[in-house]
Chain A
Amino acid sequence: GAVVSQHPSWVICKSGTSVKIECRSLDFQATTMFWYRQFPKQSLMLMATSNEGSKATYEQGVEKDKFLINHASLTLSTLTVTSAHPEDSSFYICSARDSGILAGWGYNEQFFGPGTRLTVL
Protein backbone atom coordinates (compact mmCIF):
# COMPACT_ATOMS: atom_id res chain seq x y z
CA GLY A 1 0.00 0.00 0.00
CA ALA A 2 0.86 3.65 -0.28
CA VAL A 3 3.16 5.00 2.41
CA VAL A 4 3.46 8.51 3.76
CA SER A 5 6.31 9.45 6.05
CA GLN A 6 6.81 12.41 8.34
CA HIS A 7 10.01 13.81 9.72
CA PRO A 8 10.74 14.35 12.48
CA SER A 9 8.47 12.07 14.48
CA TRP A 10 8.88 14.34 17.48
CA VAL A 11 10.56 17.65 18.16
CA ILE A 12 11.11 19.83 21.20
CA CYS A 13 11.98 23.46 20.68
CA LYS A 14 12.26 26.70 22.57
CA SER A 15 9.62 29.37 22.36
CA GLY A 16 10.28 31.79 19.51
CA THR A 17 12.06 29.36 17.23
CA SER A 18 10.77 27.92 13.97
CA VAL A 19 10.24 24.25 13.27
CA LYS A 20 9.91 22.54 9.91
CA ILE A 21 7.98 19.29 9.47
CA GLU A 22 8.31 17.24 6.29
CA CYS A 23 5.65 15.04 4.74
CA ARG A 24 6.68 12.66 1.97
CA SER A 25 4.74 10.26 -0.20
CA LEU A 26 7.17 7.39 -0.63
CA ASP A 27 5.72 5.32 -3.45
CA PHE A 28 3.24 7.55 -5.21
CA GLN A 29 2.83 11.08 -6.44
CA ALA A 30 0.60 13.45 -4.57
CA THR A 31 -0.56 16.69 -6.13
CA THR A 32 -2.56 17.36 -2.99
CA MET A 33 -1.51 16.98 0.61
CA PHE A 34 -3.38 17.93 3.74
CA TRP A 35 -2.15 19.10 7.13
CA TYR A 36 -4.06 18.32 10.30
CA ARG A 37 -3.59 19.25 13.93
CA GLN A 38 -4.64 17.10 16.85
CA PHE A 39 -4.71 18.31 20.44
CA PRO A 40 -4.50 15.70 23.23
CA LYS A 41 -7.58 13.53 23.42
CA GLN A 42 -9.23 15.47 20.62
CA SER A 43 -10.02 14.89 17.00
CA LEU A 44 -8.07 15.92 13.94
CA MET A 45 -8.71 19.39 12.62
CA LEU A 46 -7.87 20.22 9.04
CA MET A 47 -5.45 23.15 8.93
CA ALA A 48 -4.74 23.52 5.25
CA THR A 49 -4.77 21.90 1.84
CA SER A 50 -1.46 21.94 0.03
CA ASN A 51 -1.36 21.77 -3.76
CA GLU A 52 1.84 21.14 -5.64
CA GLY A 53 3.14 24.27 -7.31
CA SER A 54 0.56 26.63 -5.87
CA LYS A 55 -0.35 28.34 -2.65
CA ALA A 56 -1.93 26.38 0.15
CA THR A 57 -5.56 26.86 1.09
CA TYR A 58 -6.00 27.48 4.79
CA GLU A 59 -9.02 26.68 6.90
CA GLN A 60 -10.77 29.49 8.68
CA GLY A 61 -8.94 30.51 11.83
CA VAL A 62 -5.56 29.12 10.80
CA GLU A 63 -2.84 31.77 10.55
CA LYS A 64 -1.14 31.35 7.21
CA ASP A 65 1.81 33.52 8.25
CA LYS A 66 2.42 31.34 11.25
CA PHE A 67 1.98 27.98 9.58
CA LEU A 68 3.91 28.16 6.32
CA ILE A 69 3.24 25.38 3.84
CA ASN A 70 5.35 24.58 0.83
CA HIS A 71 4.54 21.84 -1.67
CA ALA A 72 7.44 22.11 -4.07
CA SER A 73 7.31 18.63 -5.53
CA LEU A 74 4.85 15.81 -6.09
CA THR A 75 6.27 13.87 -3.17
CA LEU A 76 7.07 16.50 -0.56
CA SER A 77 5.16 19.06 1.44
CA THR A 78 6.57 20.96 4.39
CA LEU A 79 4.89 22.72 7.29
CA THR A 80 6.92 25.36 9.09
CA VAL A 81 5.68 26.60 12.43
CA THR A 82 7.19 30.05 12.73
CA SER A 83 7.97 31.70 16.06
CA ALA A 84 6.53 28.75 17.91
CA HIS A 85 4.87 29.21 21.29
CA PRO A 86 3.73 26.68 23.89
CA GLU A 87 0.15 26.85 22.59
CA ASP A 88 1.44 25.48 19.26
CA SER A 89 2.37 22.25 20.98
CA SER A 90 0.33 19.57 19.29
CA PHE A 91 0.36 16.45 17.16
CA TYR A 92 0.64 17.38 13.49
CA ILE A 93 -0.48 14.84 10.91
CA CYS A 94 -0.25 15.06 7.15
CA SER A 95 -2.03 13.09 4.50
CA ALA A 96 -1.43 12.72 0.79
CA ARG A 97 -3.87 12.02 -1.99
CA ASP A 98 -2.68 9.72 -4.72
CA SER A 99 -2.69 11.49 -8.06
CA GLY A 100 -2.79 8.27 -9.99
CA ILE A 101 -4.93 5.16 -9.82
CA LEU A 102 -4.48 2.49 -7.23
CA ALA A 103 -6.03 -0.93 -7.60
CA GLY A 104 -8.64 -1.58 -4.98
CA TRP A 105 -9.13 1.64 -3.05
CA GLY A 106 -9.27 4.05 -5.95
CA TYR A 107 -7.43 7.21 -6.83
CA ASN A 108 -8.99 9.56 -4.36
CA GLU A 109 -7.93 7.90 -1.15
CA GLN A 110 -5.87 9.86 1.32
CA PHE A 111 -2.98 8.19 3.07
CA PHE A 112 -1.92 9.46 6.45
CA GLY A 113 1.53 9.95 7.85
CA PRO A 114 2.46 8.75 11.35
CA GLY A 115 2.38 12.26 12.79
CA THR A 116 4.87 14.65 14.38
CA ARG A 117 4.63 15.57 18.02
CA LEU A 118 5.72 19.16 18.60
CA THR A 119 6.48 20.39 22.10
CA VAL A 120 7.32 24.04 22.55
CA LEU A 121 8.96 24.94 25.85
Chain B
Amino acid sequence: AQSVTQLDSHVSVSEGTPVLLRCNYSSSYSPSLFWYVQHPNKGLQLLLKYTSAATLVKGINGFEAEFKKSETSFHLTKPSAHMSDAAEYFCVVSEGGNNDMRFGAGTRLTVKP
Protein backbone atom coordinates (compact mmCIF):
# COMPACT_ATOMS: atom_id res chain seq x y z
CA ALA B 1 0.00 0.00 0.00
CA GLN B 2 1.10 3.53 -0.68
CA SER B 3 2.13 6.01 2.00
CA VAL B 4 3.88 9.33 2.41
CA THR B 5 6.11 10.76 5.10
CA GLN B 6 6.44 14.48 5.54
CA LEU B 7 9.75 14.92 7.25
CA ASP B 8 9.02 18.18 9.04
CA SER B 9 5.91 18.92 11.07
CA HIS B 10 6.75 22.62 11.16
CA VAL B 11 8.90 24.84 8.97
CA SER B 12 9.55 28.49 9.70
CA VAL B 13 11.09 30.88 7.17
CA SER B 14 11.47 34.59 6.77
CA GLU B 15 9.57 36.43 4.09
CA GLY B 16 11.57 36.51 0.86
CA THR B 17 13.67 33.44 1.66
CA PRO B 18 13.35 30.03 -0.01
CA VAL B 19 10.89 27.39 1.13
CA LEU B 20 11.60 23.65 1.22
CA LEU B 21 8.97 21.20 2.41
CA ARG B 22 10.12 17.60 2.31
CA CYS B 23 8.14 14.54 1.36
CA ASN B 24 9.12 10.92 0.86
CA TYR B 25 6.75 8.34 -0.53
CA SER B 26 6.34 4.61 -0.64
CA SER B 27 4.50 2.92 -3.47
CA SER B 28 4.40 -0.47 -5.13
CA TYR B 29 3.46 1.01 -8.47
CA SER B 30 4.10 4.17 -10.40
CA PRO B 31 2.41 6.70 -8.17
CA SER B 32 0.71 9.98 -8.69
CA LEU B 33 1.91 12.58 -6.22
CA PHE B 34 0.24 15.80 -5.13
CA TRP B 35 0.82 18.78 -2.92
CA TYR B 36 -2.18 20.49 -1.36
CA VAL B 37 -2.36 23.61 0.78
CA GLN B 38 -4.91 24.23 3.50
CA HIS B 39 -5.39 27.63 5.09
CA PRO B 40 -6.97 27.76 8.56
CA ASN B 41 -10.54 26.52 8.59
CA LYS B 42 -10.52 26.21 4.82
CA GLY B 43 -10.69 23.37 2.34
CA LEU B 44 -7.83 21.98 0.30
CA GLN B 45 -6.30 23.67 -2.70
CA LEU B 46 -4.22 21.74 -5.20
CA LEU B 47 -0.79 23.27 -5.68
CA LEU B 48 0.60 20.80 -8.19
CA LYS B 49 0.67 17.17 -9.18
CA TYR B 50 2.97 14.61 -10.76
CA THR B 51 1.54 11.82 -12.91
CA SER B 52 4.51 10.24 -14.73
CA ALA B 53 5.16 13.09 -17.10
CA ALA B 54 7.90 15.66 -16.50
CA THR B 55 9.71 15.09 -13.22
CA LEU B 56 9.90 18.79 -12.43
CA VAL B 57 6.38 20.01 -11.85
CA LYS B 58 5.43 23.66 -11.68
CA GLY B 59 2.35 24.64 -9.75
CA ILE B 60 0.45 27.69 -8.69
CA ASN B 61 1.76 30.61 -6.64
CA GLY B 62 5.36 29.97 -7.64
CA PHE B 63 5.62 26.50 -6.10
CA GLU B 64 7.32 23.60 -7.79
CA ALA B 65 8.27 20.05 -6.90
CA GLU B 66 10.66 17.49 -8.33
CA PHE B 67 9.90 13.79 -8.50
CA LYS B 68 13.02 11.77 -7.74
CA LYS B 69 12.37 8.07 -8.09
CA SER B 70 15.82 7.04 -6.89
CA GLU B 71 15.27 8.94 -3.65
CA THR B 72 11.49 8.30 -3.47
CA SER B 73 11.07 11.98 -2.81
CA PHE B 74 8.76 14.74 -3.96
CA HIS B 75 9.92 17.87 -2.16
CA LEU B 76 8.05 21.15 -2.54
CA THR B 77 10.01 24.35 -3.09
CA LYS B 78 9.46 28.04 -3.65
CA PRO B 79 12.24 30.55 -4.28
CA SER B 80 10.81 33.34 -2.17
CA ALA B 81 8.25 32.98 0.61
CA HIS B 82 5.34 35.35 0.95
CA MET B 83 3.33 36.02 4.07
CA SER B 84 0.27 34.55 2.37
CA ASP B 85 2.07 31.21 2.03
CA ALA B 86 1.63 30.56 5.76
CA ALA B 87 -0.61 27.48 5.89
CA GLU B 88 -0.64 23.71 6.29
CA TYR B 89 0.78 21.71 3.39
CA PHE B 90 -0.03 18.10 2.63
CA CYS B 91 1.88 15.70 0.44
CA VAL B 92 -0.41 13.05 -1.05
CA VAL B 93 0.19 9.80 -2.92
CA SER B 94 -2.24 7.91 -5.08
CA GLU B 95 -1.76 4.68 -6.96
CA GLY B 96 -3.72 2.19 -8.94
CA GLY B 97 -7.13 2.32 -10.48
CA ASN B 98 -8.94 2.93 -7.25
CA ASN B 99 -7.29 6.29 -7.04
CA ASP B 100 -7.67 6.61 -3.29
CA MET B 101 -5.36 9.20 -1.87
CA ARG B 102 -3.14 8.86 1.18
CA PHE B 103 -2.20 12.00 2.98
CA GLY B 104 0.98 12.81 4.81
CA ALA B 105 0.78 14.19 8.33
CA GLY B 106 1.17 17.73 7.08
CA THR B 107 3.77 20.47 7.44
CA ARG B 108 2.84 23.78 8.96
CA LEU B 109 4.64 26.63 7.24
CA THR B 110 5.17 29.82 9.20
CA VAL B 111 6.43 32.93 7.42
CA LYS B 112 8.04 35.61 9.54
CA PRO B 113 8.08 39.26 8.47
Contacts and interface: CB of A to CB of B under 8 A. Distances in A.
Interface of A: 32, 34, 36, 42-46, 49, 93, 95, 97, 105-106, 108-110, 112-115, 117
Given A112-B36, A115-B42, 4 more contacts: A34-B101, A43-B90, A109-B46, A113-B43
Contacts of A46: 100-103
Interface string B32-50: 1000100001111010010
A43 B100 contact: no
Contacts of A117: 41
Contact of B99 (A36, A45, A108, A113): A108
B103 A34 contact: no
A114 B49 CA distance: 19
Nearest to B36: A112
B97 to A, nearest CB: 9
- The interface centre, meaning the residue of B42, B43, B103 with most chain A CB atoms within 10 A of its CB, is B43
15 contacts: A34-B100, A36-B103, A42-B105, A43-B106, A44-B103, A46-B101, A46-B102, A108-B32, A112-B36, A112-B43, A112-B44, A112-B46, A113-B43, A114-B42, A115-B43
A112 B99 CA distance: 14
Judged by DSSP, the binding face of A is strand
Nearest to A36: B103
A110 B99 contact: yes
A113 B42 CA distance: 10
Contact of A44 (B41, B49, B90, B98): B90
A32 B98 CA distance: 9
Closest 4 CB pairs of A and B: A114-B43, A112-B44, A44-B103, A43-B103
B61 interface: no
B41 A109 contact: no
A101 to B, nearest CB: 14
Nearest to A95: B101
Contacts of A93: 43-44
B38 to A, nearest CB: 9
B98 A49 contact: yes
B26 interface: no
Contacts of B90: 43-44
